[in-house]
Amino acid sequence: MINWGRGPGACRDRRDRGQGTLEYIGTLALVALLIIAVVAAALHFQAGPFVARAICAIAQQPTCQVGTGETPYERARSGRYLAMGDSFASGEGAWDYDEGTDFDDRDDPWPFNNGEEDHNRCRRSKHAYARLLADGNDFAGGSRFVACSGALIDDFYQPNHKETDEDPQLEALGEDVSLITLSVGGNNLGFAGVLIDCVTSNLKAGLTGRCQEHQDAAIKERMPQVRADLVQLYRRLRQEAPNARIIVVGYPALFEEKPDPSLRNVLSAPDQRWMNEVAATFNGTVASAAWEAGVEYVDPSAAFRGHGLGSDDPWFNDLIPKGPGAMVADPSSFHPSADGHAAFARLVQQQLENPQ
């Protein structure tokens, strides 16, 4: 067990619509298989491997292994580790970024070439949870880090139009990949835009704004499509990396359960509570999509409780007013710090060694 400190175990949310029907059908199938096994035994037929494979297929357990002699942990380390996703995976906010992933030549004052120069702010941090996992485990095929701050689900399928020299993340897949971790979907839901709108409206209204009133309907409208896109993506990952364990990492709540009105982020208490509710709802959506696609899910909610903005030991950056270029706020605002990524790493490590 890699020791990055103590943290509660990850759990898998299986509360998906239609799950009861699936479990009923699965139970009937398992009973039928057991009957086949008994009959086959009477006929001196080796039914064990057949039954085991069928059970794995019905249960859709990504860690289910038949006849390989490998534990799930050994399977995860048997090939190449691939880290994919958005800013919560790249390490935006944990600082100490890789060379070539935190620059924008368009920031220079020369007026004749703005918009034509290279730029890449994927911000892949040396403190990201993927780096901690790569350093703490012996992956036979090494590791590769393609997560990029600001990434959308579309950026898995096509070159990232926002950053220079960023190929589709799916191009990094292959049969040699034994472990994939990813966090993605928050940008498709519009988290960043919602936060900007909340901060702006509260600045105008003097901490009496109600961001929920003009964002809640749009969030709810986008949620089903994001879920469908995630299911499709997870299934594509399974198809193109058939030997990999795939671990999806959720999004923790940004704020404490009891809002702190003195926060520098100038978000009102109702908006803080609403943002936490959105995060919880979205985590349920991500978990549901992961279950349907047959991949693993790690929920960070419990581990981050007591470490939100407003706590004595926050694992997030608060609002950082000035960002690169003309940005009014640094993109690392409201993102996990290095401590937050260490917590992510502990949770994923627990899932690697003891799948839930």
Residue 66 lies inside a defined structural domain of this protein: no
Residue 231 lies inside a defined structural domain of this protein: yes
Residue 198 lies inside a defined structural domain of this protein: yes
Distance CA 143, CA 123 (A): 17
Residue 10 lies inside a defined structural domain of this protein: no
Distance CA 142, CA 132 (A): 13
Backbone angles phi, psi at 144, to 5 degrees: -140, 140
Instruction: List, for residues 62-109, the tens digit of each pLDDT value.
Output: 666 545 689 999 999 999 999 999 999 999 999 999 999 999 887 766
Residue 93 lies inside a defined structural domain of this protein: yes
CATH number of the CATH domain containing 236: 3.40.50.1110
Residue 166 lies inside a defined structural domain of this protein: yes
> How much is the pLDDT for 267?
82
Distance CA 249, CA 298 (A): 5
Instruction: List, for residues 230-275, the tens digit of each pLDDT value.
Output: 999 999 999 999 999 999 999 999 999 888 766 666 788 888 899 9
Judged against a pLDDT cut of 80, whether residue 43 lies above it is answered with no
Q: For residue 275, what are the domain limits? A: 72-353
Q: Is 32 helix (H, G, I), strand (E, B) or coil?
A: helix
pTM over 0.95: no
Residue 248 lies inside a defined structural domain of this protein: yes
Distance CA 89, CA 341 (A): 9
Residue 49 lies inside a defined structural domain of this protein: no
Based on the structure, what is the number of domains in the chain?
1
Output the six-digit token pair for 41: 């035994």
